[in-house]
Structure 1
Amino acid sequence: MLSLKNVVGGYSNTPIIKGIDLAIEKGEFFALLGPNGSGKTTLFKLITGQLPLQKGEVSLSGQSLPSFTKLEKAKKIAVLSQEAHVSFDYTVEEIISLGRYPHQKGFLKKLSKEDWNVIENVMEITKTKQFQKTQFRMISGGEKQRVLLAKALAQEPEMLLLDEPTNHLDIKHTFQMIDLLKKWQQTKGLTIFAILHDLNVASLYADRVGLLHHGKFLEVGDINTLRKEDQLEKVYEVQVKTQSHPTIPKPQLLMTPNYVQTNEWRNFSESFSIEQNEKYIHLQFNQPLRTISNGVIGEGIQWIQHFCNFHVEKHYHCSEPDKDIRNWMEEYNIPHHQAVGMMTAVKLEDMVVCTKRMEDISIMAVVTAGIGNAVDISSKEEARQDVKIGTINTMVFIDAHFSDGALVNGIMSATEGKVKALQDLQIKDPLSNTLASGTSTDSLLLAVTQQGESTPYAGSGTLVGKGIGEVVYEATAKAVKKYWKRVKVNDIS
């Protein structure tokens, strides 16, 4: 729909935009990205005609854009710039009604019933109707931006040009505005060309992005362009880390500051405290650790400072165990937003703590174990419905620096250590009578201090991976033996 061919231009004889080629299709959401000074606003003004082209061509649907009359252009394109300045003291409703001007007929250009229907509709969907009779100068910057968006939508354009449309908006209204634009794109075939500062917002909403660098496109592509960390660091001159959004398949970016973290770790053995009673085990570190876990809360990869294992009765059943754990943590003044929480029906006094040092790396495993739910994962027996006391909860703490891949390696090493302990102890799945690989409700945590040189590997073929496996093997074996001893005593009694 919009085509730029070898566009060159700027504010003087020295061009800021240095030969841009771009084609935007009808119904597409295109985001123009780049730091201040890269030429985004200059390119925007060249497209809208606010600045003359020094070279090249801008065309709309195959027709040169300068050849359109102002009225023809207004029927095709609406523009929303950063500035929320209005020269005259209009009301909100009057400003929005100006968007209908290109569609009005006759010499006097009166608003028709259809015009008013459109105006009412855009005021409703942009949530500006509540102050429609208020003078524009009396509303806030964010409200002014929504009013000018309503005016642009009232034009019913085929294409909307937006220069940092969320500049004055808080998070709530930013998402409301772009959700609205996305809906119009999808339902009305609206084509959107937007300058955006927020790379994460661009990733969530745009179909394609263009990365502008010193007046030229470094790359134009789909949102996976935003996964290229080296390229983004070159353009924005900050350290960038990309990750996937947790619920939709799109990248999100994290910026790393240049300041040096001054907090220093004490000796690993002095960096935490353990509180143990009949209700819970609570390990608190003096600084957050990088974690990977399948805990009831605090699951996934996180930064965590509190690590808890709560005792529940053997017949405990709840549809919302995460809610219970949060309530318990609140009761015991443990901040659940900074915690991993597990559950077990075994006696917490049977907790086992094992430590190991591999060269300059300290490793500690904290395990509680019950084997009433022992399962051979390879067995063809159906999963049991009757849950007995029997969960192996394992927490492994390591004074080392792991990549995310090494965290996954470490979880594998810990699992291998646990499974080997169960096999050597001849723990069996009661349904299949074959050697068990774990229990049906195991929880596992790996937490690292992120001190020292980063390692990308922690599998069984590495020194630290072997250390993880060995300490988990030892702790699991001791915890199971404690469980056996308690079960035998209870049977006798």
Structure 2
Amino acid sequence: MLKIENVFGGYSSSPIIQGIDLAIENAEFFALLGPNGSGKTTLFKLITGQLPIQSGSVLLSGREIPVYSKLEKAKKISVLTQEVLVSFDYTVEEIIRLGRYPHQKGILKQLSKEDRKVIEDVMEKTKIIQFRHTPFSMISGGEKQRVLLAKALAQEPEILLLDEPTNHLDIKHTFQILDLIKKQQQETGLTVLAILHDLNVAALYADRIGLLQNGRLIDVGNADTLRKEAQLKQVYEVDVKTGSHPTVPKPQILMTPEHAERDFFDFYNSYQIEKNSTYIHMQFEHPLRTISNGVIGEGIHWLKHFCNFHVDKHYNCADPKSDLRERLNNYHIPHEATVAMMTAVNLEDMVMETKDINGIPMLVIVTAGVGNAIDVSNEYTISAGTQIGTINTMVFIDAHFTDGALVNACITATEAKTKALHDLQIKDRESDTIATGTSTDALVIGLTQQGEQTPYAGSGTAVGKGIGQLVYRSTKKAVNKYLKRIRQ
């Protein structure tokens, strides 16, 4: 364990580090974060003995750092920095051999069989064995950093100190280095104390995080420490929003620049619609904040294009995403900025309604087919295969919603659709009970994010009532058009 007890120190009589207490547990990855000038590198130099401690103590395995000789310290601690300068043009293997120096015995410091085994092992782990005879100056920056990591690991340290080791690397090489270190930590019990510049990278790799400000440790905790928006704004003096990584249970941070405020625009003059027998395409001049379960563009995004494609009623595709991307490409619509749905109903039966409700401009587009209407409360098993009889709903609102209000809006729109099916007596063919929807319904809610922010859009709010009224009326009209067509 590395223990820092009430440490003061720095470059002058006025200490930069002021009374830090911190315990780094064995085999953990601890990330030290803070803005430039907060004291991160100074603290590292106090730990390694490069700077004198004015008061307090740093203990390694229960002994104060100054008690260790340089050789003993080198067996305990290795350091990897962002610097890749090497004074002489050694080969890769020669540099890595230097990491074994603390373990070599005798005056001549010859490599032992064990030394050679360790060197081979770290070169293999860091994937640089093919460069063993290559001059260090001849390899890339990412490869150089892997060599220096191999040298640090060749020391077989208990603690690895990382001083912004990936600050000059691109994304690929950053993840390569940190993946290697994380794997070493997990497999060998290596303790890692890292200064990291990127908060999102720190959240992905660190077991615990410490936040430094003006030489003081103001917070210590797991990755959820980075969910404290007000604290991060205070420390970094930047407006931040935190969210969650889509596949890893860790937070990710978004920064908002001062220039981000948008000019007001007129909702009704901000879009154009193209409709034919093949597709409906709504294009907005400005991106909308969206939530959707569309085939393309699912989740929460900022998007400008909203498409509903007609497909054959017997449509059966193993990869509908790829199919829709190809269709979008054919019409020169960027799939990265699009919500795309599909339906087998006749697109001429689209219903579009616009209305200001309580001063809020809204627009709803619905296409509806109820050939595979479903009562979600019934227990029978739905037959396998793609079914296309569907209700596709697009709701566009000139308002500013939180993410919670976006979810509210989805619930409200779904309630309105279900009420329309109830009033029309649309039934589930299998159970002969009133349907709640179809098995392939799609929905998108799009917001301009203009005006005062609202945290709610449920059925008890003015904006929720507006969503409900428009979706209800549009769904009824669209279903009636569908029923009239199939009865002809």
TM-score bin, normalised by smaller chain: over 0.9
Q: Which amino acid in structure 2 is aligned with residue 480 of structure 1?
A: V
Report deviation, 1:389. 5.0
SS at match of 1:460: coil
Q: Does 1:293 align with 2:292?
A: yes
In 2, Cα distance between equivalents of 1:468 and 1:302 = 20
Distance of aligned partners of 1:263 and 1:374 in 2 relative to their CA distance in 1, 3 Å threshold: same
- With 384-393 and 94-103 compared, the bigger mean Cα shift is at 384-393
Aligned to 1:460: 459
SS at match of 1:409: helix
Q: How does 1:316-335 map to 2 (within 5 A)?
A: 316-335=315-334
Aligned to 2:121: 121
Q: Are 1:361 and 1:464, in contact at CA under 8 Å, matched by a contact in 2? A: yes
Aligned to 2:170: 170
Q: How does 1:249-264 map to 2 (within 5 A)?
A: 249-264=249-264
In 2, Cα distance between equivalents of 1:382 and 1:322 = 25
SS at match of 1:459: coil
Report deviation, 1:260. 4.4
Q: Are 2:3 and 2:24, in contact at CA under 8 Å, matched by a contact in 1? A: yes
Q: Which amino acid in structure 2 is aligned with residue 163 of structure 1?
A: D
| Gapped regions of structure 2 (runs ≥ 5) | none
Aligned to 1:93: 93
- With 382-391 and 338-347 compared, the bigger mean Cα shift is at 382-391
Distance of aligned partners of 1:388 and 1:298 in 2 relative to their CA distance in 1, 3 Å threshold: closer
Q: Are 2:387 and 2:439, in contact at CA under 8 Å, matched by a contact in 1? A: no
Q: How does 1:263-342 map to 2 (within 5 A)?
A: 263-265=263-265, 267-342=266-341
Report deviation, 1:158. 1.1
Distance of aligned partners of 1:10 and 1:475 in 2 relative to their CA distance in 1, 3 Å threshold: same
Aligned to 1:23: 23
Report deviation, 1:379. 2.0
Aligned to 2:357: 358
| Gapped regions of structure 1 (runs ≥ 5) | none
Percent identity between the aligned chains? 68
Q: How many pairs were matched up?
A: 488
In 1, Cα distance between equivalents of 2:120 and 2:205 = 26
Q: Are 1:145 and 1:168, in contact at CA under 8 Å, matched by a contact in 2? A: no
Q: Which amino acid in structure 1 is aligned with residue 339 of structure 2?
A: V
Q: Which amino acid in structure 2 is aligned with residue 202 of structure 1?
A: A
In 1, Cα distance between equivalents of 2:89 and 2:380 = 77
Q: Which amino acid in structure 2 is aligned with residue 449 of structure 1?
A: T
In 1, Cα distance between equivalents of 2:450 and 2:21 = 47
Aligned residues: CA RMSD = 1.4
Aligned to 1:470: 469
In 2, Cα distance between equivalents of 1:448 and 1:73 = 59
Aligned to 1:420: 419
Q: Deviations over 1:405-464 (max 9, x none)?
A: 110111111111111111111111111111111111100110011111111111111111
Aligned to 1:204: 204
Q: Does 1:41 align with 2:33?
A: no
Aligned to 1:55: 55
SS at match of 2:111: coil
Report deviation, 1:262. 4.7
- With 334-343 and 354-363 compared, the bigger mean Cα shift is at 354-363
Q: Which amino acid in structure 1 is aligned with residue 102 of structure 2?
A: P
Report deviation, 1:129. 3.0
SS at match of 2:162: strand
SS at match of 2:21: strand
Q: Which amino acid in structure 1 is aligned with residue 333 of structure 2?
A: I
Q: Are 2:305 and 2:338, in contact at CA under 8 Å, matched by a contact in 1? A: yes
Aligned to 1:136: 136
Q: Which amino acid in structure 1 is aligned with residue 28 of structure 2?
A: E
Q: Which amino acid in structure 2 is aligned with residue 268 of structure 1?
A: F
- With 347-356 and 84-93 compared, the bigger mean Cα shift is at 84-93
Q: Are 1:245 and 1:252, in contact at CA under 8 Å, matched by a contact in 2? A: yes
In 2, Cα distance between equivalents of 1:196 and 1:484 = 61
Q: Which amino acid in structure 2 is aligned with residue 330 of structure 1?
A: N
- With 209-218 and 113-122 compared, the bigger mean Cα shift is at 113-122
